[in-house]
Amino acid sequence: MTEKKQEEKEKTAAELLEEKLLMKQESGAKTLDPAEIEKADEFCEGYKSFLDRAKTERDAVRFTIEAAEAAGFTEYDYHKSYQPGDKVYVNNRGKAVMLCVMGTNGTHNGVRLGIAHIDSPRLDLKPNPLYESNDLALFRTHYYGGIKKYQWPTVPLALHGVVARKDGQVVDVCLGDEEGDPCFVVTDLLPHLAVEQMSKVMTKAFTGEQLNVLIGSRPFRLDEESKSVKLNVMNLLYEKYGFTQEDFVSAELTMVPAGKARDVGFDRSMIGAYGHDDKVCAYPALMAILDTPLPESTVITVLTDREEIGSDGATGMKSTFMADFIADLAKADGEELRHVMAKTTCLSADVNAAFDPTYASAFEADNSCYLNRGAVITKYTGSGGKYSTSDATAEYMARVRRILDDRNVLWQTGELGKVDGGGGGTIAKFVANLNADVVDLGVPVLCMHAPFEIVSKIDVYETYLALAAFYQA
Ligand code: MN
Ligand code: MN
């Protein structure tokens, strides 16, 4: 054996040891079979049309129920009795929805939960939004969720939501997303006159009261009405939707970024869109349950509202709606909710912040998630020293790893940025507080909470595979 060959042999031994002992963290774009990447691209075509239709929680619930009914799900009725294999959905006020496939073993060994949220940061209209100033008509807004306010001016916006009239009729409003629709916009100051604005710190440069949306500029011409641009806008709204200014009081109208999801990059490997957080996990959780064959333990996908504003309210995860439904299922099986919950396992499907080389100092590279490395398992979230988070047990983490590895799902692990960098939470803790095992699993996102967020197609697909594996394990 020559000296050179000996060197090669030693290197092989090191490689073998490395393979045995060290964690692999490689891009799925390098390691995945091209056929699987093709499947990911195909899966994401469906995801993009979901994004285009589901900008708000109400839009997402409508899409979900249509898809569920097409797949044989029926609306749950607590008076009825159900058999293994039955598929039901629960619609909570058109703003949150649960899909359930009854297992052969029902709830006796707990249920398998996949939970995601379908609300995203945006600009809600105030209860009295319409005003006129200097011959322009505008809507006043109250932002919803954590936004960087400077990102929202000069972005084309669409109006989504409902107006509930006093006579009980609920009018759907959706304007700005279709070809040929007008859009709306928050204005910004030209740089020539922005000397004072540009010297402000970013948190002060844009205030909530400045996020006013431009909606019209031509007056109602038939008489000398002083608020005539406002009147003209109200008249157009009345003609199209049949509601008056006072009806804004009983409306849920919101401004969201207009336009459709786009492929990003020369290689089309990424998707740019509004609302990936958390539609990018909601869609895989929906598809995973639609594709679930008869499971052993009952499987439930929960798509919830209000995560971006703390999960309070009847349609958020602090509400009892999910536990009440599981209590019904438990009762039908002769079980108590508390015994079912103690054996329940859950994937809280939410996004994490992908490592961004342009802002590398915000991340700790060894404990960050990366685009194209697959679904990210986030053991805990929170801030200020693991404050306000459920932290998955070591045993449950091991179980989830085993499930994913058994099905060859590409996964990674990561925290949300640097320890003292800030932080954030998910809905995991609300389920964990019911005495269930929960861990976060989802898709890495660049520019999270911006009007245009970025994800990798491979990661979206692997998150679907992860949820499907979890439901079928
Ligand atoms: Mn989220
Ligand atoms: Mn969020």
| pLDDT tens by residue, 387-440 | 999 999 999 999 999 999 999 999 999 999 999 999 999 999 999 999 999 999
Q: Could you report how far apart the first and last alpha carbons of the chain are, in Å?
A: 50
The pLDDT score that the predictor gives to residue 225 is 55
Q: Report CA(114)–ligand 2 centroid distance (Å).
A: 17
CA distances to 135, 137, 215, 227, 228 from 218, rounded to whole Å, are 8, 9, 10, 11, 8
Provide the phi-psi class of 365: left if phi over 0, else alpha when psi is between -120 and 50, else beta: alpha
State the amino acid at position 124 in one-letter form: D
Given pLDDT bands bounded at 50, 70 and 90, which one contains residue 1? very low
The pLDDT score that the predictor gives to residue 6 is 54
Q: Report CA(428)–ligand 2 centroid distance (Å).
A: 13
The pLDDT score that the predictor gives to residue 9 is 61
| Sign, Cα dihedral of 358, 38, 65, 50 | positive
Mean pLDDT in residue range 227-249: 94
Q: Report CA(307)–ligand 1 centroid distance (Å).
A: 7
Residues contacting 35, CB < 8 A, separation 6+: none
Residues contacting 453, CB < 8 A, separation 6+: 272, 273, 274, 275, 276, 277, 445, 446, 447
Question: Which ligand is nearest the CA of 349, by number?
Answer: 1
Residues contacting 198, CB < 8 A, separation 6+: 191, 205
Given pLDDT bands bounded at 50, 70 and 90, which one contains residue 25? confident
Question: Which ligand is nearest the CA of 121, by number?
Answer: 2
The pLDDT score that the predictor gives to residue 46 is 98
Q: Report CA(234)–ligand 2 centroid distance (Å).
A: 33
Whole-angstrom Cα distance, residue 219 to residue 234?
Answer: 11
Q: Tell me if the bond preceding 437 is cis, omega within 30° of 0.
A: no
Q: Report CA(369)–ligand 2 centroid distance (Å).
A: 16
Q: Report CA(304)–ligand 1 centroid distance (Å).
A: 11
Name the residue among 156, 149, 155, 157 with its Cα closest to residue 197.
Answer: 149
Q: Report CA(254)–ligand 1 centroid distance (Å).
A: 18
> With contact defined as beta carbons under 8 Å apart, do 216 and 137 qualify?
yes
Question: Which ligand is nearest the CA of 309, by number?
Answer: 2
> With contact defined as beta carbons under 8 Å apart, do 439 and 392 qualify?
yes
Residue 29: CA count within 13 A, CB half-sphere: 10
Whether 143 shows a pLDDT value over 60: the answer reads yes
Q: Report CA(275)–ligand 2 centroid distance (Å).
A: 9
Protein residues placing their CB within 5 Å of the ion ligand 1: 277-278, 350
Residues facing residue 76 across a β-bridge: none
Q: Report CA(412)–ligand 1 centroid distance (Å).
A: 18
Residues facing residue 162 across a β-bridge: 172, 252
Q: Report CA(87)–ligand 1 centroid distance (Å).
A: 27
Two structure tokens written together for 130: 């319409």
Q: Report CA(147)–ligand 2 centroid distance (Å).
A: 9
Q: Report CA(117)–ligand 1 centroid distance (Å).
A: 7
Name the residue among 324, 283, 308, 289 with its Cα closest to residue 434.
Answer: 324
Question: Which ligand is nearest the CA of 442, by number?
Answer: 1
Given pLDDT bands bounded at 50, 70 and 90, which one contains residue 467? very high
Q: Report CA(228)–ligand 2 centroid distance (Å).
A: 40
The pLDDT score that the predictor gives to residue 220 is 87
Q: Report CA(453)–ligand 1 centroid distance (Å).
A: 12
Mean pLDDT in residue range 447-453: 98
Question: Which ligand is nearest the CA of 147, by number?
Answer: 2
Q: Report CA(238)–ligand 1 centroid distance (Å).
A: 36
Two structure tokens written together for 466: 């992860």
Whole-angstrom Cα distance, residue 111 to residue 337?
Answer: 11
CA distances to 43, 83, 113, 395 from 130, rounded to whole Å, are 41, 52, 42, 55
Q: Report CA(348)–ligand 2 centroid distance (Å).
A: 13
Q: Report CA(278)–ligand 1 centroid distance (Å).
A: 5
Mean pLDDT (the chain, rounded): 95
Whole-angstrom Cα distance, residue 378 to residue 356?
Answer: 17
Q: Report CA(279)–ligand 1 centroid distance (Å).
A: 9
| Reported pTM | 0.96
Residues contacting 192, CB < 8 A, separation 6+: none
Whole-angstrom Cα distance, residue 470 to residue 456?
Answer: 21
Name the residue among 303, 317, 289 with its Cα closest to residue 426.
Answer: 317
Question: Which ligand is nearest the CA of 281, by number?
Answer: 1
Q: How many residues does the chain have?
A: 473
Whether 460 shows a pLDDT value over 70: the answer reads yes
Q: Report CA(157)–ligand 2 centroid distance (Å).
A: 19
Whole-angstrom Cα distance, residue 89 to residue 43?
Answer: 23
The pLDDT score that the predictor gives to residue 214 is 98
- Residue where the block lists tokens 């003609």: 239
Question: Which ligand is nearest the CA of 118, by number?
Answer: 1
181-229 pLDDT per residue, tens:
999 999 999 999 999 999 999 999 999 999 999 999 999 876 665 568 9
Whole-angstrom Cα distance, residue 464 to residue 440?
Answer: 14
Q: Report CA(121)–ligand 1 centroid distance (Å).
A: 10
Whole-angstrom Cα distance, residue 187 to residue 191?
Answer: 13
Name the residue among 101, 99, 109 with its Cα closest to residue 63.
Answer: 99
- Mind listing the domains of the chain with CATH numbers? 28-120+274-472 (3.40.630.10), 123-257 (2.30.250.10)
Q: Report CA(390)–ligand 1 centroid distance (Å).
A: 15
Given pLDDT bands bounded at 50, 70 and 90, which one contains residue 128? very high
